[in-house]
Structure 1
Amino acid sequence: MNNAAHIYMKQKHIYGFLAGVVIGVLGGLIGLGGAEFRLPLLIGLFAFPALDAVILNKAMSLVVVTSALPFRASTVSWQAIADNWQVILNLLAGSLIGAWLGAGWATILRSEGLYKIIAFLLLAIACVLAGSHMVHGSGKPLLENVIALAVSGVLAGFIIGIVAALLGVAGGELLIPTLVILFGVNIKLAGSLSLAISLPTMLVSFARYSRDSSFSVLGANRSFLFIMAAGSLCGTWIGGMLLGIVSESILIPMLVLLLILSAIKVWRHTLIGGAR
């Protein structure tokens, strides 16, 4: 490796670590994997092709979600999560199937099509996130009929699993409003429950991606992956400590704007010859 290449790799690792910290803080704060913000960076700043970016994103999301859950335990107890095991299993019944199918579709899509889907889904997530901070858990499920509630939970989980696999995200931005509106869970508990649901969902889509040749991107970028993941770990710890301190009335609008700008940037990627 020549000197110029060495300097480039060093800068890439530094930027990767710093990006991981910032994204990890978001994950710890609001129960997201932060992958919806990481994905545009992997595509735009670090110039990874769409599918490679999704797979890298999924790997780092696993780190964030796994660490964010215990970091939030001082505010939301393990017992509170365990008490809602039926809700977790209900959503998992759909999300695991959706994650497997979504990952399979991503591997066969042309890059240009995947870029467009990513941009659309980022915009859709921004809209969901914009509305979700205005809803509050009622303390009781939206539907009184147990069977109707269970079916709705499975369908919601299925859709969330597909979206999470296509973007390489944890799915918290969709899980949290589903938990709040459909199951009447309060917002802070919903954040931790979403992490508990996201982890097995991501493992399933990750297993499906491992069957595709593009999975080799993890080995080829091992050092970058570890460094950005390390930044994410630092960030999730900070985010967990700040939970309950930072006002969501300030945080959510900023994140919505960031998602909209990211969606525009990824969409433009298909227009300027970025698709491969």
Structure 2
Amino acid sequence: MEKKKSIIMSLVTGTPIGCLGGLIGLGGAEFRLPVLVGIFKKSTHKSVALNLAVSLVTVISSLAFRLPNAKMNNLLPLLTVIISLICGSMTGAYTGAHFSKRVTEASFKKVILVLLVFIGLLLIVEGFYPIASSEVQNYSTALTVIIGVLFGLVIGFISSLLGVAGGELIIPTLIIVFGVDIKIAGTASLLISLPTIIIGIMKHASNGVYSVREDITHLVIPMGISSVIGSFIGTVLVSYISGPFLKLSLGCILIASAVKLFLKNSQR
């Protein structure tokens, strides 16, 4: 894809994807991955790495928007949980990026397909059974650390494999496992995602995935900027659209697009 066309397509596709993410409270990276493979014709390995770089832009901007309004006295009691999840997810992200390098393109596509279908099913389930804030779990410090690290390993591994921030997994974990209030979970999720994404990017960079400068200047940066704009639009529109219906619809769309794209590529 020529440079000028790549920039335009990055801006055009990034905004609606960011809008979808803003509507459901995520970064939209799950929907961005099929676009990178299908429209931009990037290999699955490169698409995941580029997706992770765009996720970094969206997470940093989201933190810039949310932290000034966040109440630190709500986050401080969660410090042990946050640090435990970060430690586990950073290790998982490093392992996931290393794993992606070792598998063939065909096998990696199958792994990505399974994970995207899983995320789609998770959205559908949440559409039928919206996650509500539960009672705070009073685990001991040692048990909190163990649970946090274990869940973090899984989250970081999947995050690195898909190139996503991992909010679709972190937020349910914080709410269901640790009983964190849903409003606080969103900010905590961003704090947990940031170091995880950085570790994944560093590992992918060491694999030479970001060696083409045009991928950063003509795809990652414009798509990141348009994703931030779209995310803002999504947060404005969220009060006008039914959350459960939206998750059901987007879950079905994600599964259908992932199956169509990756099965089609595998047959080729």
TM-score by length of 2: 0.89
Question: 1:116·1:270 contact (CA, 8 Å) conserved in 2?
Answer: no
Match in the other structure for 2:167: 172
Aligned counterpart for 1:95 among listed residues 79, 82, 89: 89
Aligned counterpart for 1:196 among listed residues 183, 191, 208: 191
1:185 counterpart = 2:180: yes
Matching residue's letter, 2:180: V
Distance 2:178 2:30 in 1: 24
Match in the other structure for 1:222: 217
Q: Using a 3 Å threshold, how does the CA distance of structure 1 residues 187 and 118 change in structure 2: closer, same or farther?
A: same
Give percent identity, aligned residues only: 38
Q: Using a 3 Å threshold, how does the CA distance of structure 1 residues 217 and 113 change in structure 2: closer, same or farther?
A: farther
1:48 counterpart = 2:45: no
Deviates more, 1:191-200 or 1:129-138: 129-138
Question: 1:161·1:171 contact (CA, 8 Å) conserved in 2?
Answer: yes
- Structure 2: stretches of 5+ with no match in the other structure: none
Report how far residue 90 of structure 1 moved. Answer: 1.8
Deviates more, 1:11-20 or 1:88-97: 11-20
Report how far residue 247 of structure 1 moved. Answer: 3.5
Distance 1:194 1:127 in 2: 20
Match in the other structure for 2:19: 25
Match in the other structure for 1:262: 257
Match in the other structure for 1:106: 100
CA RMSD of aligned residues (A): 2.3
Q: Using a 3 Å threshold, how does the CA distance of structure 1 residues 18 and 211 change in structure 2: closer, same or farther?
A: same
Deviates more, 1:63-72 or 1:216-225: 216-225
**Aligned ranges 1:31-70 → 2 under 5 Å:** 31-70=25-64
Distance 2:253 2:183 in 1: 22
Residue by residue over 1:14-67, the C-alpha shift from the partner in whole angstroms, topping out at 9 and shown as x without a partner, is: 222121112222333444221111001000111100111011101100011111
Match in the other structure for 1:126: 120
Deviates more, 1:42-51 or 1:72-81: 72-81
Secondary structure at 1:216's aligned position in 2? coil
Q: Using a 3 Å threshold, how does the CA distance of structure 1 residues 200 and 246 change in structure 2: closer, same or farther?
A: farther
Match in the other structure for 1:140: 136
Distance 1:175 1:220 in 2: 28
TM-score by length of 1: 0.86
Deviates more, 1:239-248 or 1:170-179: 239-248
Report how many residues are paired: 266
Question: 2:210·2:216 contact (CA, 8 Å) conserved in 1?
Answer: no
Match in the other structure for 1:205: 200
Q: Using a 3 Å threshold, how does the CA distance of structure 1 residues 48 and 256 change in structure 2: closer, same or farther?
A: same
